[in-house]
Structure 1
Amino acid sequence: MKRLPLLCCALLCLTSIMLAAEPGTKPNIIFILADDLGHDGLSCYGSDVRKTPNIDKLAASGTRFDLCYSAPLCGPSRCVLMTGRYAFRTGGIGNGSWRADGPGAKAANEQPMARLLKQAGYATGESGKWRQVGETPKDWGFEEYCTDPTAGGWYWKTSYEKNGETIDTPKEEYNPDIIQAFSLDFINRHKEHPFFLYYPMHLVHGPILRTPDSAADAGRGTDFYNDNIAYMDKQVGALVAEVEKLGLREKTLIIFSGDNGTALSHPSTIGGRMINGKKASMLEGGSRVPFIASWPGVTPAGKVNKDLVNFTDMQATFLELAGAKAPEGFKFDSVSIAPQLRGEKGTPREWAYVQLGSRWFVRSQGWKLNESGELFDMSDAPFVEKPVAVSEDTEASKAARTRLTAVLAELNPAAGKTDGGDGKAARPGKKKRKKKKNP
């Protein structure tokens, strides 16, 4: 009989975990999107230089996905995320697409993630970078938002935008602190009901400036990049701590990702090797981004998942977790990874699609085929992408070529919305030619 209290305690703990994992339970969802951050920017992904202890701790508490694909630039990746659809369907094909006269996605023509979650009973908030999507966060379903008028880094400034109103500050403020404060306040005010917080950070997009934690005696010309990484990591840690303090951690799915690969001016290595490609390239490093999901009692702790994930997949995943259904008769390109978040096998996608302007590729496990029909062996990715000529086909490469060619033929991106340009994106196996001087 003396063991009864201990048994009751164990049963209560088990019940708590089961309730957290119950498919019908609506979890809070926090999606943190770092800016210009590839695998080489995080120590939990093996970076030899960057140290991110708080994000590493988040990864250890959940599942780290190794094959997540966004788009190679800020605007297109955010459009894919907000719509759950490929760029050639929405027109979100480049950083300038969002303009009123551009081909980019318009909220009235889409079924945005935030709007659908709002209809499912979620409080919705956006905190951080927005302009590359177009219109306002409110148009896209966010009830509350705190943002700024730029598409790049917004750091030491004297104004910001909150719910459509310009707020002037009496002195220069560090905008990431303003965005962080809004995020924490949003969580506190909506702690009694399910909420969705989309938190697109400005860190670590250029210009790379000092942070409030940078050394006061740092001289002109100092590279503050490591300071920016450290401050980003610190803010993620503080947000997680706030969720824990409120007793919401087991009710909250926290996802941390990057919008595209690391900027070319701040490369790092993983195990002494450089990732092939950076931001704005059609190489692996342009769109293969970190993706960490942590929901205690639900996501397996410390697991590394090798399934292919597309940014489009957040739409179906979040709707499934919210107990909501996608509108019928509307074409989405989203595959739910909710089963994988619960540690189940699920139905992993067979390929991921990436587009920037008039260039695109489809990526499967081990292979990649682009719009020109060029096939690449990806067995040593993200470090090497080996071109495979038709004349050099093996049985495996021939099968992959046939399969992926059929995928692109069915998608038919060329018949969708493209800008016919954007030839600046680097491609695997292609070296830039030096311009010849006129004689």
Structure 2
Amino acid sequence: MKQYLLCLSAFLVTVTASAQSGKAPRPNVIFIYTDDMGRGMLSGYGQQIVKTPNIDFLARGGMRFDNIYGSMYCAPARASMLTGYSDVRKGKFTLNRAGIYINYLQGKLTLPEVDERLALFEQSEHPGMVLPQVFKKAGYVTGEIGKLEWGFATSRKQMTAHGWDYYYGYLDHRMCHGFYPMVMFENGEPVRIAGNTRPDSYPDSAALLNGKEKPQYAENLFMDKARQFIVGNKDKPFFLYYPTNLPHGPVSVPAIDPAFAHNDQLTERQKMYASMVKMVDDNVGTFIHLIDSLGLTKNTLIIFGSDNGHWLYYEGKQRRIDNITTRFFSDDGADIFNGNSGLAGLKETNWEGGVRVPFICYWPGKVPAGTVNRNLVAGYDLLSTMADLLQVRVPDQKDGRSYLPSMLGKKAVPRDKVVFSSFMGPALVTRDGWKLRTYLLDNKNIFQLYHLPTDNRETKDLSAQYPQKVDSLKRVLTKACDGQLQNGIFYFNRLPATAL
């Protein structure tokens, strides 16, 4: 009994000391990373047709970020977020070509041959510490389930080297948008998916018609594995990175959701797209309820975000715009959903609608409920923020900076600028809302200046009015781009086509 009382006393002293230090236990982290989810597609950001109550629940119970920038499209957004470097940097990461795993599934290459050819890509990477390694260093179990982690073709060796204890999903960009995968990779091993027959992951029309085989939808496969990962690691600190391939096109769902089936405003393709967005919200609800059922709610940080801005996978031919004097607006009648919430531009551009993304952090009792964060934030800040949260020292100098203080409701100095790339050229946004965008295609050397607090639709180019401001911001942008301004293809197609 005496020994028991001594142990109990020691335990109470430890608990009291921990409480007095103010240090919270390390939270589990679930990062739901959507694909091409324009901020305007969420009802919390103004969407009128598709209701997203579960994502709205995260925002009401947590913090919504209104001034956060991703990248112009999928692959650089992921590489930037995982490495903590902006996508205008040179030599920090490279993106190769897609399709090499298609050749494996067609019998043209063996998996060892794929590994050998992707080794060139691995050797070209110098990212320093990447996001899963931050969690590994803090003693977490790490899992990645969904769309490929990096670039356009991810090697099995790379997944292990980056610090994933478990992964399940695609390793090739050409496979991940058909939604009916013939093969998924689980910890390096190919897993054949019964009923799915095409290497490009599209459904087999004959199988659908004759009913002999029932194709399996990727999102359902992902969610099954995600549930297993969470339940299997509920007694350990875990990090789950869940990069769904929804609602990226081509538009495809097993069935139109009843919420849209009888909506005469929508075409069949629009109903399907709306169903894809609603499926994302339904699955966010699944995560919320699962965490709650396991008693993990108060010690789990759920992050919801997207890689880039909106894209029209459900509309017909668009009017021509030059992206210099004319730009795309969702709400001018070209997009019934207004998926970029009235901002200019779409994915792949450096207009606000192409790079401003939704982002929500939910951690009851830690992140102030129902708050809106208007500080300037970048997608590549996530690594530094998680390192700050977990008190992990990152040995290499990243471009990102931690927004942990503001996420926890404390006073914080926001970053002074965000930079990002596009196929048109890079752009810069300052803390006080000045934006310098470039258009460098077709041998043009155009610099435009906008003041976003008074012109968030980017309709008034102020470059002629403030030439000195243009010059000063140009110098800042050039330095951020390692001394050379160019369009966003410098990190692309580093894997020779002959390797495929």
Asked if Structure 1 and Structure 2 have the same fold, meaning a TM-score greater than 0.5 normalized by the shorter chain, the answer is: yes
Q: How does 1:21-420 map to 2 (within 5 A)?
A: 22-23=22-23, 25-87=25-87, 88-90=89-91, 92=93, 96=97, 100=118, 109-130=127-148, 132-133=150-151, 134-136=154-156, 137-151=159-173, 152-171=176-195, 172-212=215-255, 214=257, 222-223=269-270, 224-266=272-314, 267-268=335-336, 274-327=342-395, 330-356=396-422, 359-364=425-430, 365-371=432-438, 372-380=446-454, 382-390=456-464, 392-393=465-466, 398=468, 400-401=469-470, 403-415=472-484
Report the Cα distance in structure 2 between the residues aligned to 1:41 and 1:119, rounded to whole angstroms.
Answer: 36
Displacement of 1:315 = 0.8
Q: Secondary structure at the match of 1:279?
A: coil
Report if the CA contact (8 A) 1:69-1:287 is conserved: yes
Question: What amino acid is aligned across from residue 368 of structure 2 in structure 1?
Answer: P
Deviates more, 1:164-173 or 1:312-321: 164-173
Report if the CA contact (8 A) 2:350-2:424 is conserved: no
Report the Cα distance in structure 1 between the residues aligned to 2:347 and 2:420, rounded to whole angstroms.
Answer: 13
Report if the CA contact (8 A) 1:78-1:132 is conserved: yes
| Percent of aligned positions that are identical | 30
Report if the CA contact (8 A) 2:39-2:358 is conserved: yes
Question: What amino acid is aligned across from residue 311 of structure 1 in structure 2?
Answer: G
Report the Cα distance in structure 2 between the residues aligned to 1:420 and 1:180, rounded to whole angstroms.
Answer: 34
Displacement of 1:369 = 1.0
> Structure 1 144/272 Cα, relative in aligned 2: closer, same or farther at 3 Å?
closer
Deviates more, 1:103-112 or 1:368-377: 103-112
Report if the CA contact (8 A) 2:183-2:191 is conserved: yes
> Structure 1 138/334 Cα, relative in aligned 2: closer, same or farther at 3 Å?
same
Deviations 1:255-281 (A, max 9, x none): 100111111345455699732111111
TM normalised by structure 1 equals 0.81
Question: What amino acid is aligned across from residue 26 of structure 2 in structure 1?
Answer: K
Larger radius of gyration: 2
Report if the CA contact (8 A) 2:421-2:487 is conserved: no
Runs of 5+ consecutive residues of structure 1 not aligned to the other structure: 1-14, 423-439
Report the Cα distance in structure 2 between the residues aligned to 1:311 and 1:21, rounded to whole angstroms.
Answer: 31
Residue in 1 aligned with 2:328?
A: none
> Structure 1 233/272 Cα, relative in aligned 2: closer, same or farther at 3 Å?
closer
Runs of 5+ consecutive residues of structure 2 not aligned to the other structure: 1-14, 101-117, 196-214, 315-334, 439-445, 492-500
> Structure 1 143/212 Cα, relative in aligned 2: closer, same or farther at 3 Å?
farther
Deviations 1:106-160 (A, max 9, x none): 5565311111221221111001001643334323211100112442424234432
Report the Cα distance in structure 2 between the residues aligned to 1:403 and 1:350, rounded to whole angstroms.
Answer: 14
Greater strand share, 1 or 2? 1
Aligned length: 400
Question: What amino acid is aligned across from residue 386 of structure 1 in structure 2?
Answer: K
Report the Cα distance in structure 2 between the residues aligned to 1:124 and 1:31, rounded to whole angstroms.
Answer: 11
Report if the CA contact (8 A) 2:93-2:124 is conserved: no
Report the Cα distance in structure 1 between the residues aligned to 2:403 and 2:483, rounded to whole angstroms.
Answer: 28
Report the Cα distance in structure 1 between the residues aligned to 2:354 and 2:99, rounded to whole angstroms.
Answer: 20
RMSD: 3.4
